[in-house]
Amino acid sequence: AYQTLADYCQAKLWHQLTVQVLELLQSSTTTTLPSSEALALYDQVVLCVDSKLNPLSLAKIAALVAQTLQTSDATAAKAILENLRTKLQETQEKQASSDGSSNNASNNMNAAFTVPATIYVESKLAYFTLTTADASLTSPNDFTSTVTTLTHNKDRLHGYPAEGNAALAAVHAAHYEATMTYYKRVGPPEAFYEQALNYLQHMGPEFGQGSAARQEAAHVLAVDLTTAALTGEGVYNLGQVEQTPVLQFLKDTPDEWLVHVLQATAAGDVALFRKYQQDYATQMASQPVLVHRAAAIQEKLVLLALVTLIFSKPSHERLLTFAEIAEALLLEQGVEQVEWIVMRALSVHLMEGSIDQVAQTVNVTWVMPRVLNATQLSQLATRFGEWATKVSTTQDSMALSSAQVIA
């Protein structure tokens, strides 16, 4: 491999050199490339020709080398990223001061990737800072500089859309990895939830693939994301989590129970959730955040049970009685709890409608759109079939009536 690198350098085949270095470093996550060897590769090969390389590819190489060094020499790992950030910032200043005119296509392409490369490196630096900081640091005031950087880069990313561009998608993923790690430390869970979903969206199908370390990281994220979905304030569209590939990393593991609890909550299945409370009492008690937010989870469950009840009704039959709601939601205090629950659902905009306190009915005019699972899609298909049958029957009836009038 090293002879191949030398040949590419000799022939000035910079793209091929970049690909070879990336492959070598990425494979080091599954083999045993010593950290000293990775550092030597970076110092003695990559930095010697760094001006010839695509800045974003250079940033990825630096991040991989820093990752290799993180456990053995954290200071050196951080220095690699900081030095490259400084170099990229200097390059940006030079590009800004020049007239931007160049007949060299390679130089123009490299200039276009300088800012994304800087964002990538700064995101990796932020992630490094957050993951190596003392566990006692959990306040936003502990990470003021990091927050400033992430906020600035959030705005800059708008100028580099990731759709259809795998290289820029990696930049977005690095940013969201850092922001979700920040919110995992300081909270709130709903902010972590949002950033984690963005991260997964930009990671693509390669998420969690490859080394055992990557699979373990995916497993940890699956636990964190599921917990955040259950406890996050204002997080009701739990089907979003069910549709991500992340839950597969909990299958056949001791943490698979979290998937069952999430699915029961998403479906608003109060009876099943209570069963899981008994079946997984020990596991749930071992999660402090679930214990601390138990009341909020119960509220979310009954609100989603109400949404499920409404969804199960045809659009022309959405006048619900208090008694019907109390029975479906298995309310311990019966109809006395219904008005508060409906008012709460209205206040968080899960539904729209009105309450008739005298008649003890709820007229629903709108219910929150949500991501549907396979069972819910099947139910929706059945309702579409029923609707189509009614339309056909009405059409036939109108045709018959028209014929009789004409006759």
119 in any annotated domain: yes
Distance CA 13, CA 30 (A): 27
Which residues touch 339 (CB under 8 Å, ≥6 apart)? Answer: 322, 355, 357
If we measure between CA atoms, which residue out of 156, 160, 202 comes closest to residue 177?
202
Per-residue pLDDT of the chain (407 residues; tens, 9 = 90+): 678 998 999 899 999 999 999 988 887 554 556 788 889 899 989 999 999 999 999 999 999 999 989 888 889 999 999 999 999 999 888 887 775 555 555 555 577 899 999 999 999 999 999 999 998 988 999 999 999 999 999 999 999 999 989 999 999 999 999 999 999 999 999 999 999 999 999 997 778 877 788 899 999 999 999 999 999 999 999 989 988 889 999 999 999 999 999 999 999 999 999 999 999 999 999 999 999 999 999 999 999 999 999 998 887 888 999 999 999 999 999 999 999 999 999 999 999 999 999 999 999 999 988 776 556 555 555 655 655 666 667 666 666 666 665 65
User: What is the Cα–Cα distance from 280 to 258, expressed in whole angstroms?
Assistant: 9
Is there a domain that residue 205 lies in? no
Say if 101 falls within a structural domain.
no
**pLDDT at res. 373:** 58
The single-letter DSSP state of residue 42 is: I
Note whether 81 and 61 are within 8 A (CB): no
Backbone torsions φ then ψ of 19, nearest 5 degrees? -60, -45
Which of 186, 218, 239 lies at the terminal end of a domain, its last residue?
A: 186
Any domain includes 274:
no
CA distance 356 to 206: 52
64-73 pLDDT tens trace: 999 989 888 8
- Where a domain ends, among 160, 186, 212? 186
| Residue 307 belongs to some domain of the structure | no
Could you give the CA distance from residue 164 to residue 394 in angstroms, rounded to a whole number? 46
| Torsion over CA: 348, 350, 353, 359 (sign) | negative
With respect to residue 322, please indicate whether it lies within any of the assigned structural domains. no
Q: What is the CATH number of the domain that holds 179?
A: 1.25.40
Residue 141's domain spans which residues? 2-93+107-186
Helix, coil or strand: residue 113: coil
Instruction: Give the domain-ending residue among 167, 186, 205.
Output: 186
Q: Give the Å distances, CA to CA, from 325 to 329, 336, 339, 363.
A: 6, 11, 10, 12
Which residue is listed with tokens 């990281």? 217
> Would you put residue 208 in left (φ > 0), alpha (ψ -120 to 50) or beta?
left
Residue 276 covered by a domain: no
Per-residue model confidence as pLDDT tens digits over 253-307: 999 999 999 999 999 999 999 999 999 999 999 999 999 999 999 999 999 999 9
Cα 399 to Cα 36, 385, 387, 388, 402, distances in angstroms = 84, 21, 18, 16, 5
Residue 379 and residue 363: Cα distance in Å, rounded?
22
The number of domains in the chain is 2
* 62 inside domain: yes
